Amino acid sequence: MNAVVRVVTITALFGMFVPAAAAQEKIEADKLPQKVKDALKARFPGYMVTQATKELENGEVIYDVEMTVGGKKNEMDCKEDGTIVDIQLEIDPKNLPAAALNAIKAKYPGSTIKEVGEILVVKDKKETRDHYEVMIETADKKEMELTVSLDGKIE
């Protein structure tokens, strides 16, 4: 079974067990709570929201805000009270650590890295690099998103 079929199958299986409350609701940027807007402005001056959703995660309302800043794609998950949970920053693929790059090349020979997101987890207002989300095009021209740990393990 190829990886795409496995991902679709796993998603379909998990989808059956996800409670309806976990559904996403699109929300217009001007309808975001003021504290979320304040957090956006403080962390990402000059941002432009491209998409926002309101989600329920572990019983808590989270706003997932996708934006561009200086021509780069970024994303922020934020609680209603303005507490930032995590951030995804677009980085140049050439800035991906060697361990991650080598792991991708070994597992997916002939693939091309299309996009890299550096994931930062925020705790007590301190941002800590956690992992990378990497969009690749495989040698047979299929797009895949990979989660890659800091030390190069593909999850």
37: left (phi over 0), alpha (psi -120 to 50) or beta: alpha
Q: Which of 33, 31, 65 is nearest to 50 (CA)?
A: 65
For residue range 75-131, what is the model confidence (pLDDT) as tens digits? 999 999 999 999 999 999 999 999 999 999 999 999 999 999 999 999 999 999 999
pTM score? 0.80
Say if residues 42 and 35 touch (Cβ distance below 8 Å).
no
For residue range 28-76, what is the model confidence (pLDDT) as tens digits? 999 999 999 999 999 999 999 999 999 999 899 999 999 999 999 999 9
How far, in Å, CA of 114 to CA of 141, rounded?
A: 12
How far, in Å, CA of 154 to CA of 131, rounded?
A: 10
Distance of CA 67 to the CA centre of its chain: 12
* Single-letter residue type at 148: V
